[in-house]
Structure 1
Amino acid sequence: MANQESSTRRLIITLLRTEGPMSAGELAERIGITEMAIRRHIATLERDDLIYPTTVRQPMGRPAKVYGLTEEADELFPKNYHTLTLDLLEDIAKVDGSEKIKQLFDHREERLVQTYSDLLAGKTLEEKVAILADMQNRKGYLSKWEQKEDGTYEIVEYNCPIAQVSKLYPQTCSCETNVFRRVLGTDVNRSECLAEGGSCCVFKISDNQRQEA
């Protein structure tokens, strides 16, 4: 039953994506179930911030309520960003050479360091590790952190949103490690890497903070 309900909600989202905002009655007619059943699914989708209602005035009669998709719902549809990224990097390498690729990743590193440093300023190492892991988690890395018995810290990432890029351009991995090292102000070593066939990315973080030069 749960799978059937999930399938129905997926169909609702697909219809709204392909045909635009629709009323509960229109959705019920298209899917072939009762309007009462549709409204139950709509309530669940609204609760999950996947659809939102809009009141539309009509030439005659009462205003109608129609439903559209939120930005969150857009994430449910397949994306192929890595293909575009890889194509662009390949083109840059052909036009300007591999040195330009290095410059791009160096620039990315500096930008991330500046962004993270501003957010972590004045924090203890433990606070920095926790905030950094949370920021990575919000980007889709499925991150968690913990303090080990010897006082060191560890950040583990179970997903890599840019894995397809990292496999061909390992600079992305070294860039991430360098960013962690610089914003945490201590030694950071990657002991396992998804792009290199590991089951996750593991960052070993020293508890000896140092001053960035």
Structure 2
Amino acid sequence: MKNVGEVRAAPQGVPQEDSATGERSTRNRVARSILDHGPSTVADLAGRLGLTQAAVRRHLDALVGDDVVEAREQRVYGARTRGRPAKVFVLTDCGRDAFDQSYDKLAADALRWIARTAGGGAVGEAAVAAFARDRIETLAESYRAAIEAAPPEKRTEALARALTADGYAATARSAPGRQRGEQLCQHHCPVAHVAEQYPQLCEAETEIFSRLLGTHVQRLATIAHGDGVCTTYIPNAPDGSDAHAAPDPDGPRQPPDPPGRTAPRTPPRTERHPSASTAGRNPA
């Protein structure tokens, strides 16, 4: 499970780092107990975890503030007794997402089934690629209007904002060095573990970037391949013309190294369509 919540000031005499670690650990235990046992009262949690009720309340207040748990009135079955029902605490959707899920395995199993059912081999790989293209086409529909509304020089930024809204934590920046272009960096990939097994997901994504931006693009690195950041190089179109049309007067140059890259790169190969042929694969 991810650590949930932040820590307040350390008690006097306790090192800040040790106190923070202990607070996070106990807070995670509280959330885990609710996950394992369902809606729980303060008394339930205190008894299971060996904590005072005051300590449990303090951790629950922090978890509620972080949208990890929420308080509800306890359901009463049968005749109700006097007084208000006890308050119980349950995990929110955000809280459940903080724990390990099996979505990656489910997605990989589904793609494996598609490949096998289609006949395996090249036919199976083509079926997975068709699925990947259909998936990214659906996602791209929500990006297209924002990108087309932006001026040409701002379209990479518009794409980065759209990707960020979908959980990719994307940024756009000028390409370093003498390169005339931009780098689209995705600092998070929600499907990275599945893309390790099925690079067709990265390839389809790169193809749609090319179509949305109206130029060829080159994938330099992917998280699925072990790089720190998914990085796509987007060359500027000289004088507003097609980016394929005008050669660099100084001759071809190797695209810049992406941020977070961990492996050396081999010299670039001659490619008919860089956006398709290098997608999902690190040139290293």
Band the TM-score falls in, shorter-chain normalisation: 0.7 to 0.9
Comparing 171-180 and 49-58, the one that deviates more = 49-58
- Partner of 2:67, secondary structure, is coil
Runs of 5+ in structure 1 lacking a partner?
Answer: none
**Relative to structure 2, which stretch is displaced further, 48-57 or 190-199?**
190-199
Give yes or no for the alignment of 1:136 onto 2:154.
no
TM-score, normalised by the number of residues in structure 2: 0.66
Counting only pairs closer than 5 Å after superposition, residues 1-213 of structure 1 correspond to structure 2 as: 1-56=19-74, 58-97=80-119, 98=124, 99-148=126-175, 152-208=181-237
Superposition deviation, residue 126 in structure 1:
4.9
Taking structure 1 as the reference length, the TM-score comes to 0.85
Per the alignment, do residues 125 and 55 of structure 1 end up closer, same or farther by CA in structure 2, a change over 3 Å counting? Answer: farther
Q: Is the 8 A contact 1:185 1:210 kept in 2?
A: no
Kindly name which structure, 1 or 2, has the bigger radius of gyration based on alpha carbons.
Answer: 2
What is the distance in 1 between the residues matched to 2:230 and 2:98?
25
* 8 Å CA contact 2:217, 2:232 repeated in 1: yes
RMSD (Å), alpha carbons: 2.5
| SS of aligned partner of 2:149 | coil
Aligned length: 211
Q: Which amino acid aligns with 1:59?
A: T
Evaluate the alpha carbon distance shift between residue 197 and residue 37 of structure 1 in structure 2; reply closer, same or farther with a 3 A threshold. Answer: closer
Asked if the contact 1:151/1:207 (under 8 Å) is kept, the reply is yes
1:151 CA displacement: 5.7
Q: Which runs of 5+ in 2 are unaligned?
A: 1-18, 243-284
Q: Is the 8 A contact 1:113 1:182 kept in 2?
A: no
CA distance in 1, matches of 2:223, 2:43: 47
Equivalent residues of 1:54, 1:67 under 8 A apart: yes
Output one character per residue of 1:43-79: Cα deviation in whole Å (capped at 9) or x when no partner. 1111101111112365222232211110001111112
Question: Could you tell me the percent identity over the aligned residues?
Answer: 31
